[in-house]
Amino acid sequence: MATTANRVDAQTSDEINRRLRLQMEERLAYYETHPDQIEARLTELDREWDIERTLEANASTLAFTGTMLAATGDRRWLALPAIVTGFLFQHAIQGWCPPLPILRRLGFRTAEEINQERYALKALRGDFEAQSGNKLDAVLRAVGIR
């Protein structure tokens, strides 16, 4: 079974993973020369939906819709929530489900990929530099604990 951290990445084509990494590297290169815009990018990252959240929202919408259609009309609509929850379970175990390749191609990233960019931006901004020798304090400030 794939680990939580790598299951989506492992089920995504190398081409798409490479493209997502390259896009992040290009953004980081931009912010290296525009450090005054890092804070705005960090705010954008706080609002970015990761692939898990997107899959959960889509699955729950489809399951709810199927249930409501079955309750108010044709009971065959109950097949929709059954199929959707089955795919959601498959995603929980394997990291793959039918919408995953489509969403990855659309640019949806894992929480880990978003956090990699977040911490790279914080490092560019200098958040991890120790001031007056207190390295732990600098790290805690950088990750938002202090």
Residue count (the chain): 146
| Tokens matching residue 70 | 């079955």
pLDDT tens for each residue of the chain, 146 residues long: 667 778 898 889 999 999 999 999 999 999 999 999 999 999 999 999 999 999 999 999 999 999 999 999 999 999 999 999 999 999 999 889 999 999 999 999 999 999 999 999 999 998 887 666 666 777 667 666 66
CA-CA distances (angstroms) from residue 93 to 79, 81, 119?
A: 21, 18, 28
CA distance 94 to 46: 27
What is residue 130's predicted lDDT score, i.e. its pLDDT? 67
DSSP state of 130: -
CA distance 87 to 92: 9
Radius of gyration in angstroms for the set of CA atoms belonging to the chain, rounded to a whole number = 20
Contacts 24+ apart (CB under 8 A), 104-107: 104/8, 104/12, 104/13, 104/16, 104/20, 104/51, 105/16, 107/20, 107/23
Query: Residue 137: CB partners within 8 Å, gap ≥ 6?
Result: 130, 131, 146
